[in-house]
Amino acid sequence: MSQTAMDYTTKELMAAFIAGEIKDGETVSVGASLPVCRAGILLAHLTHAPNLKVQMAFTMTNLLNVPVLESFEFITDWRAARWAEFFYNHDIGPDLYKRRRQAIFFIGGLQIDAYGNTNLIGIGSDFRRLKMRGPGGVGTASMGTNIGRYYLYVNNHNRQTLTEKLDWRSCFGFGEGGADARKRINLPGSGPRFCITPLCIFDFEETTKRMRIKSVHPGVTLEQVLDNTGFEPVVPERIAITPAPSAEQVTLLRHRIDVDGVLRRSQ
Amino acid sequence: MSDGKRREVIISEQEAASLLKDGMTISIGGFLNSSHPMPLVRAIIRNRLRNLTIVGAASAGLETDMLIGAGCVKTVIAPMISGESLAPIGPSFRYFAQRGEIDVIELDEHMYYQGLRAAAALMPSLPWRGGIGTDYAKLNPRLKEFDDPITGERLLAIPAIHIDVALIHAGAADPFGNVQHVGTGFGDRAHHRAADMTIVTVDKVIPNEEVRANPYRTSIAGADAVVRAPYGSHPFASPGHYLEDAAHIREYVAAATAQLKNGDRGPLEEYFNTYVFEPKTHAEYLTRIGFERILSLYEV
């Protein structure tokens, strides 16, 4: 690993963290709406995961030898087909879970609770009169149930999103908690591994499966995290600092993965 | 009596539209900002069909949002309705759902495909595990939890989603209904298999010889009807043919958002008047969009 970068953004740091989570040979989906996750995946691919199975814009591909990985605004952008080795028909999704035991996925939420359960349905207790109708659960209930492991990802770390109680649970993380929360109801996947935010990384405490502060990003205080979190996370005695990206990682991000600088913009 | 000739299935957009009736369950293929059969979506709005059940794509786009905004929809089945960065949540979907004016059948993507597969296999339901431990069965009372008779595990029974007419947009088809998508075709095949009838709008009708030259590319064999519709997915993309018209989609989003934010239906009515009611045919619609705009939707 090369030297620590001197100059990087929070999003670049988050992307580098995600890259560190991805192992060679795994299967990952690159979406269009989560540029940080996309960048983290591709960074892993270009550094330590040359055999990554990349699902992108309804293709399967390997991008190792592509000099500049331009990003697409829409997941349906068929120009990605220039790299396609396989076209992915969306309706075969339910048949892929045996193969997705070595796959990872990212799940967001309008609300996320302390046990990693998520809500994409909407805000409000009356389903027919939601105060804010959400996009819908997309594939999260099934992916969260079955896929090898997944990561919770939020763009905005605030008390509304990270909340004690969900209005609706559209994806099961660890339910009401407990080490065997998933085993009790026979869910094959191992559930959320971390929750990645612009302020910190949460993991899940082993016995309760409640979110615990694993590390705060450089320059972020514990107080800041607690003030902006709507539930009480487990706070360990020593709080680690999320490692800064390496100079090599930042160079790769800026020159091959995020040439447009989406990760360098403030919002 | 057969005349001994193979029957061609190309019909006009008006003939296709006349097959769509109030109260039907109609699916719309494609995905998000790509591949929607827009001449028929606009015909549904123009003909003021009502009480439809719309089965959107696994990620439906703003075509489904338009049908909701125009008041055609009673029930919607789609795991998400979005224009991605152009409108993360369909604005008309939000407006009508928040007021309780449409029934939203809540399913996640793979519950949804299990429901379509159940219909295709003539099964009342198929089992699925995703959704156990969540509120899905509360949100959607059609889902039933049960104990698997083989292992005793708790599972969800997903009821069949039967479609009266599947509307799909593809790059090409021959006159006999052999459809060739460019690229994936998203979940369109699942709609076709769950439907009594499939109507496909195509950017191009190709000769049967071209299909036979590359039968591997045939994604749907035996569509019931084909409608010739160059630029038929506009304002959405059609793989291999043109990109989405983001500026036009933004025009719709702005109009529908005025209703959502201020209850002002004026801009949306104006959008529908300009692009749906006044142009009576697909050709008139394209004329209104303008040659220059259409030709600017190139791929690089």
- pLDDT confidence of residue A267: 58
Report the distance separating Cα A213 and Cα A195, nearest Å: 9
pLDDT grade for A183, boundaries at 50, 70 and 90: very high
- pLDDT confidence of residue A146: 97
- pLDDT confidence of residue A184: 97
Cα of A247 to nearest chain B Cα, Å: 31
Can you tell me the mean pLDDT for B208-219? 98
β-partners of residue A196 are: A153, A201
Report the distance separating Cα B117 and Cα B225, nearest Å: 22
- pLDDT confidence of residue A134: 95
- pLDDT confidence of residue A32: 72
Domains annotated for chain B, with CATH where assigned, are 28-106+164-295 (3.40.1080.10), 125-159 (no CATH)
| A154-179 burial code (b ≥16 CB/10 A, e <16) | beebeeebbbeebbbbbbbbbbebee
pLDDT grade for B104, boundaries at 50, 70 and 90: very high
Residue appearing with tokens 């990087």: A8
Residues B34, A76: C-beta atoms closer than 8 Å: yes
SS3 B224: coil
- pLDDT confidence of residue A204: 98
Tokens encoding B54? 């719309």
Is residue B43 a contact partner of residue B246, using CB atoms and an 8 Å limit?
Answer: no
- pLDDT confidence of residue A71: 84
Residues A91, B113: C-beta atoms closer than 8 Å: yes
Q: Which of B76, B112, B134, B298 to mutate against chain A (most A CBs within 10 Å)?
A: B134
Q: What is the 3-state secondary structure (H, E, C) of B15-42?
A: HHHHCCCCCCEEEECCECCECCCHHHHH
Residues B98, A188: C-beta atoms closer than 8 Å: no
Cα of A94 to nearest chain B Cα, Å: 6
- pLDDT confidence of residue B133: 98
Domain boundaries, chain A: 10-264
- pLDDT confidence of residue B66: 98
β-partners of residue B53 are: B25, B75
pLDDT grade for A80, boundaries at 50, 70 and 90: confident
Question: Considering only CB atoms, which chain B residues are within 8 Å of A58?
Answer: 31, 183-184, 186
- Predicted confidence (pLDDT) at residue A213 exceeds the cutoff of 70: yes
- Predicted confidence (pLDDT) at residue B299 exceeds the cutoff of 90: no
Residues B184, A33: C-beta atoms closer than 8 Å: no
List all residues of chain A from 184 to 243 with a beta carbon under 8 Å from chain B: 185-188
Residue B29 has φ and ψ, to the nearest 5°, of: -80, -170
Residue A27 is classified by DSSP as: E
The CATH number, out of the four listed (3.30.710.10, 3.40.1080.10, 1.25.40.20, 3.40.50.300), of the domain defined by the range A10-264: 3.40.1080.10
pTM of this prediction exceeds 0.80: yes
Report the distance separating Cα B291 and Cα B282, nearest Å: 13
Residue appearing with tokens 């795991």: B79
Report the distance separating Cα B231 and Cα B81, nearest Å: 22
Residues A87, B100: C-beta atoms closer than 8 Å: no
Query: Does residue B148 sit at the A interface (CB-CB below 8 Å)?
Result: no
Comparing CB atoms, the residue among A89, A142, A187 nearest residue B185 is A89
Cα of B252 to nearest chain A Cα, Å: 17
Query: Does residue A79 sit at the B interface (CB-CB below 8 Å)?
Result: yes
Share of chain B above pLDDT 90, in %: 98
Task: From residue B197, give the alpha-carbon distance in Å to each of A175, B45, B55, B229.
Answer: 42, 20, 14, 19
Comparing CB atoms, the residue among A90, A135, A144 nearest residue B184 is A90
Q: Which of A56, A73, A76 to mutate against chain B (most B CBs within 10 Å)?
A: A76
Summarize pLDDT for A81-139 with one digit per residue, the tens. 889 999 999 999 999 999 999 899 999 999 999 999 999 999 999 999 999 999 999 99
- pLDDT confidence of residue A81: 87
Mean pLDDT of chain B: 97
List all residues of chain B from 221 to 280 with a beta carbon under 8 Å from chain A: 237, 239-240, 243-244, 246
Lowest mean pLDDT among A66-75, A93-102, A246-255: A66-75
Report the distance separating Cα B250 and Cα B69, nearest Å: 15
Query: Does residue A60 sit at the B interface (CB-CB below 8 Å)?
Result: no
Report the distance separating Cα B165 and Cα B192, nearest Å: 9
Task: Pick the closest to residue A154 from A106, A193, A117, A190 (CA basis).
Answer: A106
Question: Considering only CB atoms, which chain B residues are within 8 Å of A87?
Answer: 183-185
List all residues of chain B from 113 to 142 with a beta carbon under 8 Å from chain A: 113-114, 116-117, 128-136, 139
- Predicted confidence (pLDDT) at residue A1 exceeds the cutoff of 60: no
- pLDDT confidence of residue B1: 65
Give the number of A-B residue pairs with CB atoms closer than 8 Å: 176
Question: Considering only CB atoms, which chain B residues are within 8 Å of A55?
Answer: none
Residue appearing with tokens 């692009």: B275
- Predicted confidence (pLDDT) at residue A50 exceeds the cutoff of 90: yes
- pLDDT confidence of residue B300: 62
Residues A129, B135: C-beta atoms closer than 8 Å: no
Positive or negative: CA dihedral A112, A116, A120, A126 = negative
β-partners of residue A112 are: A118, A162
Comparing CB atoms, the residue among B93, B134, B186 nearest residue A171 is B134
Query: Does residue A82 sit at the B interface (CB-CB below 8 Å)?
Result: no
- pLDDT confidence of residue B51: 98
SS3 A247: helix
Residue appearing with tokens 């600092």: A241
Cα of A119 to nearest chain B Cα, Å: 10
Summarize pLDDT for A134-168 with one digit per residue, the tens. 999 999 999 999 999 999 999 999 999 999 999 99
Query: Does residue A131 sit at the B interface (CB-CB below 8 Å)?
Result: yes
Comparing CB atoms, the residue among A89, A128, A142 nearest residue B130 is A142
Comparing CB atoms, the residue among B133, B186, B300 nearest residue A58 is B186
Question: Considering only CB atoms, which chain A residues are within 8 Å of B134?
Answer: 117, 141, 169-172
Lowest mean pLDDT among A49-58, A212-221, B17-26, B91-100: A49-58
pLDDT grade for A70, boundaries at 50, 70 and 90: confident
Residue B58 has φ and ψ, to the nearest 5°, of: -55, -40
Question: Considering only CB atoms, which chain B residues are within 8 Å of A84?
Answer: 183
pLDDT grade for A253, boundaries at 50, 70 and 90: very high
Can you tell me the mean pLDDT for A230-241? 97
Mean pLDDT of chain A: 95
Comparing CB atoms, the residue among B108, B154, B185 nearest residue A142 is B108
Question: Considering only CB atoms, which chain B residues are within 8 Å of A121?
Answer: 106, 135, 139
Find the residue in B nearest to A81 (Cα). B183
Question: Considering only CB atoms, which chain B residues are within 8 Å of A188?
Answer: 129
